[in-house]
Amino acid sequence: MFIDRARITVHAGNGGDGCVAFRREKFVPRGGPSGGDGGKGGDVYLECSERVNTLLHFRYKRIIKADRGRHGEGAQRHGKDGGDITVLVPPGTQVFKEPEHVLLKDFAVPGERLRVAAGGRGGRGNAQFATPTHRAPRRAESGRPGEVVELALNLKLIADVGLIGFPNVGKSTLISRISSAKPKIADYPFTTLTPYLGVVAFDDFRTFVVADIPGLIDGAHEGHGLGDEFLKHVERTKVLVHLVDVSQPERDPIADYRTIMRELALFNEALASRRQVVVASKVDAVAEPRALTRLRSMCIRRKIPFQSISSVTGQGIPELIRLLAKLLASDSGV
């Protein structure tokens, strides 16, 4: 199950209490105070890791607690510090502090860590309060409480290429053809209900990551169809691959293209200007060749890279991979 949003509460550990104690040893008259300090409470950390790729684990554990510090003891024994706790989140996770909704961290690189809640300081024992004029203090401090923080986690997939388009234009078939991803493929709308990631390998052992985004329809930015639930996952992509089905004689491919571009712009204006490739899909089943010609002509006029493919026969797929690799290389300055 793919979960890309979660709300959790993190409790750092409370500090241990200081101790009130006095030395009572043979041959040590007036032994004096010997109460030790309490231990520090454990901290709570979030760490970016490739071992997880969804926020599903937070569905079953929404309250996370670190250990408290142990109380101080006599003979000036310091209480044991509470153990820190580290919670793993996938790359692409944004962490917001609630209710202010302040962005604390946008995790992108595995290994990054963020302390989201600090453990409480341990209280001082009575040995800490002894002075030349007050040699037998009978007071100690209580441990400080650990921080309690409400967090909202928002996952945005990190991919080089995002596949977009209407439902059933061939996005899932394409990603299954060019990578090892195995999304569900069927001939009814909204077959893909969650994003899928696939790794595409090409010459020189280089790779890039492709995200298959569930189909969009008119009004998606307002929640129609699957709505804007997954539009956020294309915000991090470097190149958009806009698949247009040219096999349906009753559909206008240019109108379909404009509809999806309008939805992208209404959701995030920056997406409409993102580098893109228009792909005419299912060319092995074209019923009206003029539709393919019109779509190609539009791309030439707008200077948009264009490629026609058939995921069934493999036509145009090697050329598409080389085109994407070239665009990604130029984008990174390679």
Same domain, 134 and 189: no
- As a whole-number percent, the residues of the chain with pLDDT over 90 amount to 42
Tens-place pLDDT, residues 4-32: 789 999 999 999 999 999 988 777 777 78
For residues 230 and 330, the model is more confident at 330
**Separation of first and last alpha carbons in the chain:** 37
Question: Quick one: 135 and 166 in the same domain?
Answer: no
pTM above 0.75, yes or no: no
- The stretch 221-235 carries a mean pLDDT of 59
What does the alpha-carbon distance between residue 109 and residue 225 come to, in Å, rounded to a whole number? Answer: 33
| Amino acid 218: pLDDT | 58
208: left (phi over 0), alpha (psi -120 to 50) or beta: beta
Q: Tell whether 95 and 229 lie within a shared domain.
A: no
pLDDT, residue 103, reads 93
Q: How far apart are CA 121 and CA 251, in angstroms?
A: 67
DSSP state of 291: H
Domain boundary among 135, 155, 175: 155
Do 177 and 54 belong together in one domain?
no
Are residue 171 and residue 127 in the same domain, yes or no?
A: no
Hey, which residues does 281 pair with through a beta bridge? 245
Distance CA 157, CA 42 (A): 31
Say if residue 7 is in the same domain as residue 118: yes
Q: Is the pLDDT of residue 265 over 90?
A: no
More confident call, 1 vs 91:
91
pLDDT(224) > 80 = no
Mean pLDDT of the chain: 84
The answer to whether residues 196 and 270 belong to one domain is: yes
Question: Between the CA atoms of 197, 201, 207 and 210, what dihedral angle is there, to the nearest 10 degrees?
Answer: -20
Q: Tell me how far the alpha carbon of residue 225 is from its chain's centroid.
A: 23
Residues 206 and 307 in one domain: yes
Is the domain of 261 the same as that of 310? Answer: yes
State both tokens at 265: 């712009």
CA 331/CA 314 separation, integer angstroms: 27
Q: Which domain CATH number covers 123?
A: 2.70.210.12
User: The domain containing residue 132 runs over which residues?
Assistant: 1-155
User: What is d(CA 194, CA 5) in angstroms, rounded to the nearest whole number?
Assistant: 13
- pLDDT grade, residue 311 (50/70/90)? confident
Domain end: 134, 155, 176, which one?
155
Query: Can you tell me which residue has the tokens 């550990």?
Result: 13
Q: Are residues 174 and 140 in the same domain?
A: no
Last residue of a domain, one of 155, 172, 205: 155
| 141 and 169 inside one domain | no
One domain, residues 113 and 187: no
Radius of gyration of the CA atoms of the chain, in A:
30
Span 61-112, pLDDT tens digits: 899 999 999 999 988 899 999 999 999 998 889 999 999 999 999 998 899 9
pLDDT for residue 222 is more than 80: no
Mean pLDDT within 248-266: 87
Check residue 273 and report its DSSP letter.
T
* Contact in structure between 284 and 311 (CB atoms under 8 Å): no
What's the total number of domains in the chain? 2
Cis status, amide bond into 110, omega within 30 of 0: no
